[in-house]
Amino acid sequence: MEDATETPQEEVNPYEFPVTNLYELEGRVFAEHWSIPYKKEESLGKCLISAANLAEAGLMDNDENCTRFVERVMTESFQKLLTSNAVHRWSTDIQEGIYNMLQLLVDLVAARLQHMPVHLTLMDVLAMALNPDCEFQYKNKSRRDRTAWEEKLEDGVLYTAAPANRTDQLYGWLTGLVNRFAMKGGFEHIRRILESDDLDAPSIAALMKPLGMCSEYLNVELVRKILTMGMEKSINYVKNLEEKDFKEKKVGSVSDLLTSMKLLCIHIWPTDTVSLDNLRLDVALRMLKSPHFNAKMNSLKEVAKLIEDATSVKNSRTKSPIPVETIQAWLLENRVLSIALEGNIDQAQYCDKIKGIVDFLGTDLSSDELTSIWKMQAKKLLNLIGKIGRDAKIPKTTNQLLWDLSHLPALSTHLIELAMEEHLAILNDSYTVKDQVKRNYLSKCVDDIKKGVCVLPTLKQLHQLSKNILKHSHKQDKSLVKCHKQALMSCGDGQLEQTTLVDARYPHSEFSPVIPVLSILTCRSCPVQYVSSHLSFLQYVLQDGVLYLPWNRAREIWSTLVAAPEACTLHWAVKVSFGAVIVEKTDLLGLDFLWQLCLNTPDETIASLAIQLLLNVSYTNLASRLKKDAINLHKKFIHECKTRLE
């Protein structure tokens, strides 16, 4: 009979996470001179055992301290224990202690796999532990596994097999972890999850990654039976990806999934490796053609990774390179570089990936692709010239160079406008450029307009430069009046004393049925732009130049606009909202469909029209009372954009 006076022992709750050990472990792991305990009775071992108990009961994700351990402390601990160069200096006792911690990790992962969803962090750490190229496994590659797994596994069949060509590298500890994972039901859990219907790319990739890492040491026949159906479902999942899937962040995991599947195929389904490579390239091309920037960026990252793996001189068993010749042929046949150049080339990261493709292709680049690259380079050169001019103390040479470049006939409209913008940016600096220099360029602008040379960009330059001179003048400046008088004289033969610049460019059809200047210039820009620019400049000169437009000239301008609707489409005289609706309430029927059209349609033309319509009903065509609260209107629209993009 037991002594009644004996003090009863305090029961230990198996589902209470050891917080004290967690705090101690944090202090040791994240210190500058870190020291990680490797014994079962110490902090790391206790936390792993407790986490496994919680995972077995399905409570791991609900415990805040356990989650903190798994997501932060455990990951960092194994990162240092497995990949640090210090591994090679540690004693045998420490090596064996780390192996014991890895066994506890395997128990934790197998327990957590009993419950959904797949824990991505745990699977990543397991993949790191089963990587034969990590420092710890490489250091202990010659060790044997002394465990009698035939007695512990069902049917006595091992889940591992030593490679025939690597008899000197047994990797006994790695194979021991794999067999322990099988004994704990890990393979069966993976099969069950892969054969289910409710999966996404990150989950499938996380499940495949550990097996892909150690695929060289798996029992081919046994693992093939377990994973065949899961592999088929995974391949079908990738093949059936739709356009809407490409805009989501998780699509980036497709690359990791295909990489792991390729590693498995090399050793378990060797005849399927080529078809899997083709699928990988096909997905990359589909993502590159997607209108979504996220998909394009993921595609370029995948292409960069393929090129890096194919050209790497370092052999690795955890990489699955596609042959260089195959990648080159794919890039050229599908004009991958040309498609990429149509994307967001203003993004630095995007351009870096394109540069990698250019370096890889080298002399195989087509003339069209070289032309596209040259056009991109021309834009950057103009920006560089402009920067040099803005930084120079005397920017005379750069000013003249940009002026000459803007008058090159072979230059596109976009580059002409860019050259003019850089030229104007230099002239707008009132500290380094004197007013006389600006007035000289005013005269050049008027001369060009008189000659009919590069009229539209020059007129815009004249407008902006005039405004800049007036802005920086500290006294009444007559330069605008002089400029206007010069413009009057440039429009005709000097006989038209009160004619305006607009009158001469677009005379009344009664006086000039054929508009010779317009017919020459519309090859670059539409007539509407010319009319709008001329009228804007006329309005500015009349207001700020303190001039008046006589009635007869105003009547002639009106007659010109009405008589030549094909030249101006009456944009100056008719309100832009003609034919459009005024939005009185922002909660419109069909707005959700319009958002879906903007975000999901693969056709860029339709997407652009949908976006413009969305802006019209959200901003442009709102009633006056709605536009009064502009700040809240903007906040609401920006919040809606963020919500839709998540």
Q: What is the mean pLDDT of residues 94-101?
A: 96
Amino acid at site 297: M
Range from 147-151, 157-161, 173-177, 524-528 carrying the lowest mean pLDDT: 524-528
Q: For 200-235, how does the pLDDT look when each residue is reduced to its tens digit (9 = 90+)?
A: 899 999 999 999 999 999 999 999 999 999 999 999
What's the pLDDT score for residue 566? 53
Dihedral (CA of 408, 412, 417, 421) sign:
negative
Q: For 283-300, how does the pLDDT look when each residue is reduced to its tens digit (9 = 90+)?
A: 999 999 988 888 889 999
Cα 55 to Cα 367: distance, rounded to the nearest angstrom: 60
pLDDT tier at 494, thresholds 50, 70, 90: very low
Q: What mean pLDDT is reported for the chain? A: 80
Cα 504 to Cα 452: distance, rounded to the nearest angstrom: 11
What's the pLDDT score for residue 106? 97
Compute the radius of gyration of the chain from its Cα atoms.
Answer: 36
Q: Which residues pair with 622 in a beta bridge?
A: 583
- Higher pLDDT, residue 167 or 106: 106
Q: What is the mean pLDDT of residues 367-378?
A: 72
Q: Which of 77, 92, 103 is nearest to 24 (CA)?
A: 77
Helix axis angle for 220-239 and 186-194, nearest 10°, is 30
| Burial per residue of 506-541, b for 16 or more beta-carbon CB atoms within 10 angstroms, e otherwise | bbbeeeeeebebbeebeeeeebebbbebbbebbebb
29 three-state secondary structure: helix
Percent of the residues in the chain that have a pLDDT greater than 90, as a whole number: 37
**Degrees (nearest 5) of the Cα angle 585, 587, 592?**
145
Q: For 409-447, how does the pLDDT look when each residue is reduced to its tens digit (9 = 90+)?
A: 877 788 888 888 888 888 887 566 777 888 888 888 888
Range from 102-106, 144-148, 158-162, 247-251 carrying the lowest mean pLDDT: 247-251
- Higher pLDDT, residue 302 or 486: 302
Q: What is the mean pLDDT of residues 97-122?
A: 96
pLDDT tier at 168, thresholds 50, 70, 90: low
Q: What is the mean pLDDT of residues 343-359?
A: 78
- Higher pLDDT, residue 63 or 386: 63
What's the pLDDT score for residue 483? 54
Q: What is the mean pLDDT of residues 492-516?
A: 32
Cβ count near 579 (within 10 Å): 7
Q: What is the mean pLDDT of residues 338-364?
A: 79
Q: Which of 443, 451, 420, 446 is nearest to 517 (CA)?
A: 451
Q: For 12-46, how does the pLDDT look when each residue is reduced to its tens digit (9 = 90+)?
A: 677 899 999 999 999 999 999 999 999 999 999 99
220 three-state secondary structure: helix
The residue assigned the tokens 């990543």 is: 124
Q: For 554-590, how does the pLDDT look when each residue is reduced to its tens digit (9 = 90+)?
A: 777 777 666 655 555 445 444 444 555 677 777 787 8
What's the pLDDT score for residue 630? 76
What's the pLDDT score for residue 498? 34
DSSP state of 8: P
The residue assigned the tokens 């194979």 is: 175
Q: Which of 447, 433, 535, 439 is nearest to 491 (CA)?
A: 447
Name, of 118-127, 158-167, 295-304, 526-535, the range with top average pLDDT. Answer: 118-127
Q: Which of 391, 380, 540 is nearest to 460 (CA)?
A: 540
Cα 190 to Cα 210: distance, rounded to the nearest angstrom: 11
What's the pLDDT score for residue 518? 31
The residue assigned the tokens 């939005």 is: 583
Q: What is the DSSP string of 78-95?
A: HHHHHH-GGGGGS-HHHH
Q: Which residues pair with 218 in a beta bridge?
A: 160
Q: What is the DSSP string of 538-599?
A: HHHHHHHTT----HHHHHHHHHHHHH-HHHHTTTTTS-TTTT---BS-S--TTHHHHHHHHH
What's the pLDDT score for residue 564? 57
Statement: the pTM of the whole predicted model exceeds 0.85: no
397 has pLDDT over 60? yes
Amino acid at site 543: Q
**Count of alpha carbons within 13 Å of 33, Cβ hemisphere only?**
0
- Higher pLDDT, residue 122 or 353: 122
DSSP state of 491: T
504 has pLDDT over 50? no
Amino acid at site 312: S
Cα 333 to Cα 326: distance, rounded to the nearest angstrom: 11
What's the pLDDT score for residue 608? 86
Range from 244-248, 361-365, 482-486 carrying the lowest mean pLDDT: 482-486
Largest Cα–Cα distance in the chain?
Answer: 132
Q: What is the mean pLDDT of residues 329-351?
A: 82
Percent of the residues in the chain that have a pLDDT greater than 70, as a whole number: 82
304 has pLDDT over 60? yes
